[in-house]
Amino acid sequence: AGLFVSSHNVRGKSITEIKQEIRSLQSLRQQQGLPPLWIATDQEGGIVSRLSPPLVRQPSLSDIVERHSDVSEREKAVRLYARVQGQGLADLGINLNFAPVVDVNYQLVNPRDLFTRIHQRAISRDPAVVAQVAEWYCAALEETGVRCTLKHFPGLGRVYEDTHTDEATLKAALADLNDTDWVPFHALMKGSEAFTMLGHVRLKSMDAETPASFSSAIVSDLIRGYWKYDGVLITDNFTMQAVYRSAFGIDEASIRALNAG
C-alpha cells in the first residue's frame, strides 16, 4: 500500500511537520504488523517539483546533461544531483520518486499542451543518453533509500496530444519503438529496482482502443509475458482525461488495470 504526496498536501507546511505526518502513518502500519507504506511524490526537478517548497527546487536532468558534454563529468553531476534530491526526499520520509522521465525528446511542441510538456522534461533526444543518465540517476537515488520510477511507457515523446486533457495515440511501429523509445525501459527494467509507470496513450500497433495503462495486450502480453518483467508497474494518474473521460471511465479502467497485471 502507498500514498502519493503532492504540492497541495505540503502547501504551507514545514519540513518538520511533513516528516511528523509521514512518520505517524508509518507508525500505524508498524502497529498493525504491516510492511512500511510506499510514500511517493513527483519530484523530477524543473517544472515538475511537487515538494518545492519546502525542498529546494533543482533544475531538470536535461539541464544537467546540457551543461556537461564530457561523459565522466556528466556522470558525476547526475549522481550528485540524484543524491541531493534523494537525501531531501528521504529526510521527509519519501521512499519512492516518480522520476526520471525516460521519454525520448522529439521536440514536439503543442500550444494546447498545458501539463505533459515532454519537450521540457525529457532528458535527451538520444535514447542511449536517456538510458545512461537514467541508470546513473536511479543508482544514486537508491543509495539514499529512495526508489525511482521510469515513465511514461510506452513513451510520450512522439505524442502531440496532452493526455491530461485529451485522448492520444502512439502510431509508431513496434520495431521502431524497440530501437528508440524503449531503449531506456529495456535497460532499466532489467537492471535496476525501478518501478515503471504506464501512461494513458493508446499504442495503435497493439491495442488501438485501450490506453496502455490498463491494456491487457500491453501489460499482460507484452510486459509481463513477452518481456517477462515481474517488477512493479504503476499507472499514471487516473483522473487525467484520457482515462476519466474515456468510454471506460475511472472504475472500469481501474479493474482492467489490476486484471491486466
Catalytic pick among 68, 119, 164, 186: 164
68 in active site:
no
236 in active site:
yes
Catalytic pick among 42, 162, 207, 236: 236
DSSP state of 58: P
How far CA 104 is from CA of 48, 130, 203, 259, in Å, comes to 17, 7, 16, 29
- Distant-in-sequence, close-in-space partners of 225: CB < 8 Å, separation ≥ 6: none
* C-alpha cell read off for 58: 533543482
69, burial (CB in 10 Å: exposed 0-12, middle 13-18, buried 19+)? exposed
* C-alpha cell read off for 166: 485529451
**82 close to 147: Cβ distance less than 8 angstroms:** no
247, burial (CB in 10 Å: exposed 0-12, middle 13-18, buried 19+)? exposed
Would you name the residues annotated as active-site residues?
A: 164, 236
